[in-house]
Structure 1
Amino acid sequence: MGCDGGTIPKRHELVKGPKKVEKVDKNAELAAKWKYCALSQEKLKRPIVACELGRLYNKDAIIEYLLDKSAERPNSEVVAHIRNIKDVKELNLTDNPAWEGERHNIKGDCYEDMHCSMFICPVVGLEMNGKHKFLFLQTCGCVFSERALREIKTEICHKCGDPLQEDDLVTLNGTKEEVEKLQKAMEERRAKAKTAKKSKKSKATKVSKSQDLTGSCDTSETKSTSLNGEGSSASRSDSAPGPSTSGECSKTLKAPPGPVIGSKRSIQDMKDKSETYKSLFTSHSSAKRTKDQISNWVTHTPYHF
């Protein structure tokens, strides 16, 4: 506390001011972004993928997250925008020939360059360590530095030859402003995809309905033609003038010349049957009697003998 033994306290020892903001080491921040997975915080190893916002991940970590999203994982908010494996792109990276690996300095008696990276730009040769801006193509996944794309302007990918467009370029580990622009572009792209899917579905339903209607019409036509081809002639109505209360023409129906489907045919008209067979039925001429031959009914009781 002071005032004992002649010590004099200073102001900063008695009055506590606001805490100073801790400064993050830039080298450590760059190493965390460019050498470690944004989801699992493990060291990046092939295959490496990138999302539409430009973050780097191990492909194994993304697959594990998509298979079980219910599991509690740190940094899960970083991958909240990833819905399926199509939302990430596997990167086509170029190895750095100067990279000796992690086991060359096991004893700790050698100088270790913290800025040395595993990958470089295939055009200019800059190392992908965060000091230089890098971009990747969403179509092919090739990675280049911004300097290479600025100095050598071309409409074709430098590595694989695919067509290169500015809309397909995504900045890796960009600033907050760049990430916000990428997020807006991602939302617009997804909204366009949804509208396109809805329009395709509506067109498909319209086509299916029209096909159903045409199919029903075709079946009705085939039925009508089959009925006409079997020999069943439909009854035709001939208009004949006659007296009518309403003043309209009354239509009379004529009997068809041939047998109609569903009509009963008399046994006596069958030519393939014999007369003995026809005489068994009451419709035969021998079964018909005159009025003189028909006797009156006589009532009697069953008890009369």
Structure 2
Amino acid sequence: MGFAGAMLVAVAIDGVLGWPGRLYAHIGHPVTWLGQLIATLDKHWNRDEDPPWVRRLAGLLAALFVIGLASALGLLVQVAAGAGWRRMLLIGILAWPFVALRSLHEHVVAVAKPLRAGDVAVARQAVAMIVGRDPARLDEAGIARASIESLAENTSDGVVAPIFWGVLFGLPGIFGYKAINTLDSMIGHRDKRHGAFGWAAARIDDVANFAPARLTALLFALVCARPADALACVARDARHHRSINAGWPEAAVAGGLGVRLCGPRTYHGALADEPWLNGTARDPAGDDVALALKVYLRAMIGLAGLLAVLALV
């Protein structure tokens, strides 16, 4: 059954359990372990007094070290896992923490429920947990856009991409990808401190997410109510997004729901004049967040079905 069967096991476990809070309280989470390593390297290798080229080289070495370490650990465990059904189950269990299917759904539900009930203040608090823009400036439409965009982008980064690399390479693939994604989220920023040091992490993340982002867009388009509109929006608008990857799943959801996403937003008091996706459509509301969650669940069922087919083949 290969790695596709193992990834199906990981998806099934995460869909049922997520990452239990009691388990997190006792041992944390593998991503937090990676984060601690990255934070240590950032503290000691990213020196303000170094010229940009030195910081860029240090960031490249830091990224390669973290990715190599995570991938090597995955390979060692995988080689020791034996063969047959036991190997598939073990790889699936160890891949489980790196699939954020349930937690993503729960975070967006936490926004959708108060937003649909008209409690904008609570919805703002919930959306602040999943986006970086200033929540105090968001009205109902802004909250809905932020949560739908986060759902679309993180479906690619948090579910489809780790599964994609896990299917190809097993534990080295999913461990290595999660190292890449965590590096990007921590140091892959265009700010003064990380513009040079995080350059390599951001570029590696772009490459790692290239195929998964487009696969995610296709999954969304196939399961939404307006597949033709979703694909048309992707073809027309995805390339205008500031990210070469995030625009694909976000455009698919925008077209599929018949709403506009992205556009100008505020980060840390500074206005980012981003282009619209599906810009002639209406603004989303709380009900559209609930519809986006339904599309997400159908896409995850489709992903599980695809894994099952690949496992049987």
Q: TM-score range by the shorter chain?
A: under 0.3
Considering Cα pairs closer than 8 Å and 6+ residues apart, tell me whether 1 or 2 has the greater RCO: 2
* Between structures 1 and 2, the one with greater helix share: 2
Structure with greater Cα Rg: 1
| Between structures 1 and 2, the one with greater strand share | 1
Question: With structure 2 as the length reference, what TM-score do the two structures score?
Answer: 0.21
TM-score scaled by structure 1? 0.22
